[in-house]
Amino acid sequence: MLYENIVLPWLTAHGRLYRDDECIHEIALGLIQRLEGMPGLMPLLKFVTETVSRAKPRTVFDLSFPTPIGLAAGLDKEGVGLPFWEAIGFGFAEIGTVTPRPQLGNPRPRLFRLDPEEMLINRMGFNSQGIGKVNENVAPLRSHVRMPIGLSLGKNKETPDDRAHEDYEAVLAEGVAMQPDFAVVNVSSPNTPGLRDLQKRSLIRDLLRHIVERRDSELSASDDLSWLPLLVKVAPDLSIQELDDLLDAGIEVGIDGIVIGNTTTSTAMFSQPVTGVYAETGGKSGGDWLFDRTLTLCMHTRRHAPRLSLIHVGGIDSADKAARALDVADLIEVLTGFVFKGPKLIRQIRRAC
């Protein structure tokens, strides 16, 4: 009630003042950082959260997750809110997507709220401070966070496809310093030109082989990490055949899991006419259509590649949807549903799942 009736309207009003919905995101992250700096507040918030909504832990790729609900990549790109995410009930958080070198991303405005539908359109374009700065952000927070942390790996816009593996390897190699618990190869954002081409059978095997080999090399040289599960994040717009090709390539080179999915380029999810803000280009997230599509792909993946660990993300905005997803997947991630419903959604899912 506090979030939906006071916090969200206040953030929205400020975003509308600046005529840029991305301002809402920036103001929220700034507020979270101030809250994290208040002595004793995060432990108190965590105590209250655990008192009103007991967690049900899960073990996935030999990691203990205090609850299977995670924060999807894209909300905390720079890793500044980790203690807060844990305190309000998340069981893990995925940082990023992070690129090796800083880049601005696409021109603003590039984030659009569809309030009646509780959906988002974004064309951020991997805006990132770069892995060096993200390491600096995470370093003072890491010892205060017990939940697993994932690192979403990306590539810079100007890097050609035939050298994409170099960027993913660079983020992975430098990201080892933050001691992530797992890493996710993001080849599925629709907002970086050519990125989704990397999902094709002709490219994905070699790309993942390079990254797996670099992961193994970094682990052998690290005193801090003994294992780092490697997952690949795919688009919900893949056909079943394209998904099978990617799964087979991933299994062949030795990945540990898959994240399904990302934003969609389809407008089939809209009940509104595709005009005005609904016609903005970019990835679309939230809603029943995306949930059903990603759940279908998860069910197929479970049958086709049962040994792979599976994370479902897409359209989860209720405890019922979370429970349905967790019947298939090992873990779930939320973003758009959390943007519109806030911490209440996490408490509801914790109670039900």
**The pLDDT value given to residue 55:** 84
Cα 231 from chain centroid (whole Å)? 12
SS3 (DSSP) at 271: coil
**The pLDDT value given to residue 20:** 82
**The pLDDT value given to residue 185:** 98
Number of alpha helices (DSSP H) and beta strands (DSSP E) in the chain: 13, 13
Active site residue 189: yes
| 119-122 vs 149-153, strand pairing mode | unpaired
Spell out, as residue ranges, where the chain has pLDDT lower than 70. Answer: 1-19
> CA 117, 280, 332, 34 torsion: positive or negative?
negative
**The pLDDT value given to residue 191:** 84
Q: What angle do CA 320, 314, 45 make, to 5 degrees?
A: 65
Which token pair is 265? 């380029």
In angstroms, rounded to a whole number, what is the distance separating the alpha carbons of residues 23 and 278? Answer: 19
Q: DSSP code of 63?
A: E
**The pLDDT value given to residue 16:** 59
Please give the radius of gyration of the chain, using alpha carbons only, rounded to the nearest integer. Answer: 19
Contact 93, 149 (CB under 8 A): yes
**The pLDDT value given to residue 11:** 59
Q: Which H or E run contains 180?
A: none
Candidate list 128, 189, 285, 309, residue with the active-site label: 189
**The pLDDT value given to residue 320:** 98
The amino acid occupying position 79 is G
Q: Which residue, chain included where needed, has tokens 């019922």?
A: 320
| Short-list 157, 169, 103, CA closest to 134 | 103
**The pLDDT value given to residue 19:** 64
**The pLDDT value given to residue 9:** 59
Could you give the dihedral angle defined by the CA atoms of residues 5, 87, 328 and 345, in that order, rounded to the nearest 10 degrees? -10
Which token pair is 294? 């990603």
